[in-house]
C-alpha cells in the first residue's frame, strides 16, 4: 500500500490489483485469516447501503473483529461536528474506519486526521472496494484479466472511475460510452490515462454505446442517478435514455461477454427488464465477491 488508507485504487500502487484479486480468490476457496482478532472497526455511513454494509460487517466478524455501525443521524458528519473532530475521537477508540460519504473530501479529512486506516465504502468520486470485487468476478469467470476489453455504458461516475483505474492496472482495455457532459472527471481520466500508458492498455471514450460494446468481454452499467444526484433526476433520465443496456445492444459484444452491474439496478432505466437474469449476467456473483475482495 502507498499509504495507511484505501480511499482510491491509486492507494494500492502498481500491480497490486491482480495480487489482491488472487488473494481474494484463495480466501474464497479456503480459510479466512483471523487478522482482525481483538480489533474494532467503525462503519460510518452517510448514505444507504445493502451490499457494502453487509459484506463489511460479515467479513469483519469472520476475520475475528467487531464493528460498530454509525449512521449519519447519529454522527452528523460535518454538521453536528466537524469531520476532523470526529476523526480524532474515533482514532483513539477504534482500529479502522470504513466510511461511505457524500463528499470525497470528507474521506480525505478522515484520513488526514487519523493514524488508523480509513477505507472508502463509496464517495461521490470513487468506489474502490466495488472495483476490486468486480475484478475478482472477471478473473473468476474469464480465468484472466490481462488483454480483456471492458465497456462501461452510462454515467462516468464513481463506479466507472474506480473501474477505469482498476482495469488499467489489471491490463484491461476500458471504454466509457456516455453523453459528452457525463465523461469521467478530468482528474480520474488523467490518472487512468497515465496508468494505461504504463500498462500498455487502451483507455477511450465514445458517445456511441454500440461502438463501445463492439467485441467487449465485459459490458458494465450502473444507475443513471447516483445517491446525491437526485435533483438532476429528470434531466438525467432523458439524456441517458439512448444508453440503456439491453438485449439488442449486447448482441454487439463478444459471444461470451459478462454482463455486470454493481446494483441497485433499475429495470426499465439503465437496463432492460431481462438483463439481470440474462445468461451472461454475473451480477449476483459481483455482490458476493465484495465480501472476498474486502477481506483480501
Ligand atoms: N453510482 C451509485 C453506486 C451505488 C452502489 C451511487 O453512487 O449511488
What tens digit of pLDDT does each residue of 225-284 get? Answer: 999 999 999 999 999 999 999 999 999 999 999 999 999 999 999 999 999 999 999 999
State yes or no: pLDDT of 206 exceeds 80: yes
Chain centroid to CA 21:
14
Q: Which atom of ligand 1 is nearest to the CA of 225?
A: 8
The answer to whether the CB of 55 is under 6 A from ligand 1 is: no
| C-alpha to C-alpha distance for 287 and 279, rounded to whole angstroms | 17
Please choose from 121, 227, 228, 269 the residue to mutate so as to test ligand 1's pocket, defined by most ligand atoms within 8 A of CB: 227
What mean pLDDT value characterizes the chain?
97
Residues 123, 107: contact at Cβ < 8 Å? yes
| C-alpha to C-alpha distance for 275 and 271, rounded to whole angstroms | 6
The answer to whether the CB of 49 is under 6 A from ligand 1 is: no
Residues 53-69 have a mean pLDDT of 98
What was the pLDDT predicted at 296? 97
What was the pLDDT predicted at 14? 78
Query: Which residue do the cell numbers 465504502 mark?
Result: 121
What was the pLDDT predicted at 78? 87
The answer to whether the CB of 223 is under 6 A from ligand 1 is: yes
Distance 88 CA to ligand 1 centre (A): 28
Residues 72-78 have a mean pLDDT of 90
Round the CA-based radius of gyration of the chain to a whole number and report it.
19
Whether the CA torsion 125, 192, 54, 137 is positive or negative: it is positive
State yes or no: pLDDT of 86 exceeds 80: yes
Nearest CA owner, ligand 1 atom 1: 226
| C-alpha to C-alpha distance for 64 and 41, rounded to whole angstroms | 11
Confidence class of residue 1 from pLDDT cuts 50, 70 and 90?
confident
Query: Which residue do the cell numbers 486506516 mark?
Result: 117
Residues 138, 131: contact at Cβ < 8 Å? no
What was the pLDDT predicted at 8? 97
Nearest CA owner, ligand 1 atom 3: 226
pTM across the whole model: 0.97
**Kindly report the CA angle at 158 between 155 and 161, in degrees rounded to 5?**
85
Distance 159 CA to ligand 1 centre (A): 7
State yes or no: pLDDT of 171 exceeds 90: yes
The answer to whether the CB of 226 is under 6 A from ligand 1 is: yes
Amino acid at each position: 500500500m502507498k499509504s495507511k488508507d484505501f480511499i482510491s485504487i491509486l492507494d494500492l500502487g502498481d500491480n497490486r490489483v491482480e495480487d489482491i484479486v488472487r488473494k481474494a480468490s484463495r480466501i474464497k476457496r479456503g480459510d479466512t485469516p483471523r487478522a482482525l482478532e481483538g480489533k474494532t472497526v467503525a462503519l460510518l455511513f452517510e448514505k444507504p447501503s445493502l451490499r457494502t454494509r453487509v459484506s463489511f460487517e460479515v467479513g469483519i466478524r469472520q476475520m475475528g473483529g467487531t464493528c460498530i455501525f454509525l449512521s449519519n443521524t447519529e454522527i452528523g458528519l460535518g454538521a453536528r461536528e466537524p469531520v476532523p473532530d470526529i476523526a480524532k475521537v474515533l482514532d483513539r477508540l477504534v482500529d479502522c474506519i470504513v466510511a461511505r460519504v457524500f463528499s470525497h473530501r470528507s474521506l480525505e479529512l478522515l484520513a488526514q486526521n487519523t493514524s488508523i486506516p480509513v477505507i472508502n465504502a463509496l464517495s461521490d468520486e470513487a468506489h474502490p472496494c466495488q472495483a476490486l470485487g468486480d475484478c475478482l468476478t472477471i478473473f473468476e469467470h474469464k480465468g484472466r484479466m490481462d488483454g480483456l476489453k471492458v465497456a462501461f455504458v452510462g454515467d462516468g461516475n464513481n463506479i466507472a472511475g474506480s473501474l477505469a483505474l482498476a482495469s488499467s492496472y489489471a491490463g484491461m482495455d476500458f471504454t466509457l460510452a456516455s453523453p459528452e457532459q457525463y465523461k469521467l472527471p478530468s482528474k480520474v481520466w488523467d490518472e487512468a490515462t497515465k496508468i494505461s500508458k504504463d500498462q500498455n492498455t487502451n483507455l477511450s471514450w465514445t458517445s456511441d454505446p454500440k461502438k463501445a460494446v463492439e467485441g467487449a468481454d465485459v459490458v458494465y452499467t450502473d444507475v443513471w442517478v447516483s445517491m446525491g444526484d437526485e435533483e438532476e433526476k429528470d434531466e438525467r433520465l432523458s439524456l441517458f435514455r439512448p444508453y440503456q443496456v439491453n438485449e439488442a445492444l449486447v448482441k454487439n459484444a463478444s459471444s461470451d461477454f459478462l454482463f455486470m452491474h454493481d446494483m441497485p439496478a433499475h429495470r426499465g432505466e439503465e437496463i432492460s427488464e431481462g438483463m439481470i437474469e440474462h445468461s451472461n449476467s454475473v451480477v449476483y456473483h459481483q455482490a458476493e465477491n465484495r465480501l472476498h475482495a474486502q477481506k483480501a
